[in-house]
Amino acid sequence: MSRFSGKVALITGAASAVEGELMGFGGRSAWRMLREGGRVVIADIADERGEKAVTQMRDAGLDAAYLHLDVTSESDWSAAVGNTVSRFGRLDILVNVPGTSDRGSIIDTDTDTWQGVMDVSNRGMFLGARSVAPAMRDSGGGAIVNVASMAARYGSEYGAAYSASRSAIIAFGGSAAVQFAPMGIRVNSVLPGWTHTPFTDQIFNDADASAMRINRTPLKRWGQPEEIAAGILFLCSDDASFITGTELVIDGGVTAALQ
C-alpha cells in the first residue's frame, strides 16, 4: 500500500510510537503512515520515548525523525516546521494529537489548570495551523487533522475545560478550512470515544470506571488506537480530497445514544 508515497507528515503527541508498549493515536498513526509509504516526523515533549520510537522505525527501514515540540511554544513550532522542510524538502500533513484534561468540577478548578488545558488544545491548534500553512502551500497543498473528542458533544460532571477546548478545536477547524482552502489545504477534526491509550490507561485498569464506559458505549467495548488512526489517516489521504471543515466521530456509538 502506498497511500502516502511522496508525502511528509508531522505528527505531534506521537511519542507513544514505541513497539511493545501501549500506543496512542499519534503512535499508531505514525507507524501506519510509514507503512503506507509516507515519511514521518514525530514531535512531542516526551523526548526519550519519541527517540526510542524513531530508532525502532529506522531499524525497520522506515524514514522517520523525532523533534522536540511543545505545542504551546511558538518558537518550537517554527523550528519544527523549518527542520522538517530542511530535512525532507516539503510538508504535506499535520496531525495534532496532544491534550490534557482537568478532572475536577468547575467550582474546584483553578485558573492555571483551566488555562493549561486551553493552551495545549487551543494555543497548540492555532500555532500549528499558522506555522504549517505556508510550508504546505509551497508543497502544493496539504491536510491538517486535529484530534478533538466526543466530549465536545456533551456536558459532564468533570472536565469542563477539556470539553470546551475540544469544542473549540472543531470550530477552529471550520475557519481554518475556509481560510486555507485557496492554498489547497484541507482541515478536519476527529472525535474519538473512549479508547485504550496511555492517556486513558489508568481508567481502563479501574474496573468500575471501565465498566461504566463500556456500558455507555453501544458497541460495548473500548476503542483501539488503530481504529482512531484509521480515521485520522483517511482524512489525511486523497480518499478525503473533497472533505474539509468537518469532523469524524469514532466513538462506538456513544454520542448517537445521547441524541
Residues in touch with ligand NAD (CB under 6 A): 12-13, 15-16, 24-26, 44-46, 69-72, 97-100, 120, 147, 149, 192, 194-195, 197-200, 225
- In the bound complex, which residue of the shown chain has the CB atom lying closest to ligand NAD? 24
Q: Which is nearer to ligand NAD, 100 or 237 (CB)?
A: 100
Greatest distance between any 2 Cα atoms in the chain: 52
Residue that is written with C-alpha cell 491536510 in the block: 143
Q: Please, what is the minimum distance in Å from the beta carbon of residue 69 to ligand NAD?
A: 6
Query: Looking at beta carbons only, is 2 or 205 nearer to ligand NAD?
Result: 205
In this structure, are residues 45 and 14 in contact, taking their beta carbons and an 8 Å threshold? Answer: no
Beta-bridge partners for 142: 185
Query: Is 162 a residue of the active site?
Result: yes
End-to-end CA distance of the chain: 38
Partnered with residue 188 across adjacent β-strands are 145
Q: Tell me whether residue 73 or residue 183 sits nearer to ligand NAD (CB atom).
A: 73
Query: Residue 179: which residues within 8 A CB-CB, separation 6 or more?
Result: none
Closest separation in Å from C-beta 59 to ligand NAD? 21
The whole-angstrom separation of Cα 144 and Cα 258 is: 28
Q: How far is the CB of 235 from ligand NAD (least distance, A)?
A: 15
Residues recognised as catalytic: 162
